[in-house]
Structure 1
Amino acid sequence: MENVKWIFFDLGSTLVDESECLKERCKVIIEQNNLDADEFCKKVLEYAEKDAFAIRWAAQDFDVAVPKWFGELERLYPNVDEILKKLSQKFKLGIIANQVAGTQKRIDNWGIGKYFDVVVASAEAGCEKPDLKIFNMALEQAKCNPSEAVMIGDRLDNDVAPAKQLGMKTVWVRQGFAKYKKVNNESENPTATVESVSEVLDLF
């Protein structure tokens, strides 16, 4: 990772562990609709190999509604504060994420807002990943050339492919449903792959 000045992060399943949110959503679907748990979870995992919205697609197959997002169950992955603190001593940090309104407040509440110089979230930006506009907005705010930036995220389609298209370096974090995915084409092939966000420090 040479000539890097800026590191941009996704949030969900990258810095923020959403596993309990996903488990609770599956649990509610199964209980409210009296579904066979093994059967439903098997279907979710099948879709997870193709798409980040695995629960939504599985629910559609069973013709049942998807409950609200259990955001209160979100938590940071272990060591995120330490990772960001160390990286912020050498690089400028930013966020490019598809999020509901209030991203800055949430990262402040988690104690990590202080590490980010640029926060671009879809609700406020008026566009969302993989639209190149949201990446360009972040790069413009950072006054950063794409070749001097890295995008770190869990999704090949939303994080790696568009950032790569712009000339950014990319790191794929195989957390959440991403651990079931495979790189299918060169446009999704990241600069580096890690199995958890804790491994990111080894790259820099």
Structure 2
Amino acid sequence: MSRNDDRFPDQVRGSAPVLPNGTAVTGTAESRAALGEPVELVLLDVGGPVYDDCWYREALLRATCELVAENGGMLLEAEFQRVYDARRQSQEGSLRTAMAEHFLRDGDRERLSDRAESYWFYPPSALHPDVLPALRQLSERYSIAVVANQRALVVDALRRDGVAPFIDHWAISELVGAAKPDPEIFWHALNRAGVLPRNAVHVGNRLDSDVRGAQRLGMRTIWVVRGEAPPDPTPEQLGEPDIAVFSLADVPAAVERLQRAR
């Protein structure tokens, strides 16, 4: 298999491997304890790492504007963006909840969620160009599981766009009945694959649901800093995952790095 390890020079910050962007292999005590363990399974988020999150943003914006109008008001996109970016920056809690709290009446959260989901879809153009090459490379060495807070119909988009053939196991929140960071959805994928958390790496673009959720089970984590990741990640945020990358193209080498690091 072709390797990209030349992008990960053997720099050291203390005893932690460091990526070219200056991000060290960090993580929690549990995930650091797994460093050097063989990786058997890569768990992959969908919104952000695979598909451009702008399509979810557009669905949420449309639904929020409509409900504000139905309540007799008007929402400017700049106001929506301010709240959207603030919640992304904090990496704490649901974007839908933030919009409902700031712009809607009490009890409108579920209406917002249902309406946003009815508008939420991924056209073929939403697929990031680095996805299929990265999955092709990963699939040569590891099993791959999708672990995503999505409706079941996302599987149709993944099949349409050539992603599904690389996926060995599925954990879609609507089908599992649990959403990240609930441990149940991670365990669903791990149990299907027959893999222990110390032999798995989770790849996602949110700290609250992806990185922290996976770390609680003792998995190593790779944070893909795009989509619903913070507009301006802080050094502290960059230090939460074991590795932070800015492209899925860097994930195969990052996984390899994690299993070689001590």
Residues in 1 aligned to 2:79 and 2:120: alpha-carbon distance in whole angstroms: 26
Please name the residue that 1:68 is paired with. Answer: 116
Q: What secondary structure is seen at the aligned counterpart in 1 of 2:43?
A: strand
**TM-score between the two structures when normalised by the length of structure 2:** 0.67
Please name the residue that 2:98 is paired with. Answer: 57
Choose from 131, 135, 139 the match for 2:190.
139
Runs of 4+ in 1 over 6 A off after TM superposition: none
Look up the equivalent residue of 2:225 and give its one-letter code: R
Please name the residue that 1:41 is paired with. Answer: 81
Q: What secondary structure is seen at the aligned counterpart in 2 of 1:178?
A: coil
CA 1:55–1:169 in 2, change beyond 3 Å: closer, same or farther?
same
CA 1:46–1:16 in 2, change beyond 3 Å: closer, same or farther?
same
Residues in 2 aligned to 1:101 and 1:73: alpha-carbon distance in whole angstroms: 13
Residues in 1 aligned to 2:185 and 2:96: alpha-carbon distance in whole angstroms: 26
Residues in 1 aligned to 2:172 and 2:251: alpha-carbon distance in whole angstroms: 22
Look up the equivalent residue of 1:12 and give its one-letter code: G
> Which digits, 9 at most, give the CA deviation of each residue in 1:67-105, with x for residues without a partner?
423333452112211110111011111111122123433
Q: Quick check: 12-21 or 167-176, which moved more? A: 12-21
Q: What secondary structure is seen at the aligned counterpart in 2 of 1:108?
A: helix
Q: Which has the higher contact order (CA 8 A, sep 6+)?
A: 2
Corresponding position: 1:173 with 2:224? yes
Residues in 2 aligned to 1:143 and 1:201: alpha-carbon distance in whole angstroms: 21
Residues in 2 aligned to 1:112 and 1:166: alpha-carbon distance in whole angstroms: 26
**TM-score between the two structures when normalised by the length of structure 1:** 0.84
Residues in 1 aligned to 2:47 and 2:181: alpha-carbon distance in whole angstroms: 15
Residues in 2 aligned to 1:24 and 1:124: alpha-carbon distance in whole angstroms: 21
What runs of 5+ residues in structure 1 fail to find an aligned partner? none
What runs of 5+ residues in structure 2 fail to find an aligned partner? 1-34, 257-262
Number of corresponding residues: 203
Structural RMSD (CA):
2.7
- Asked if 1 retains the 8 angstrom alpha-carbon contact of 2:159 and 2:165, the reply is yes
Residues in 1 aligned to 2:221 and 2:180: alpha-carbon distance in whole angstroms: 15
Choose from 44, 47, 50 the match for 1:12.
47
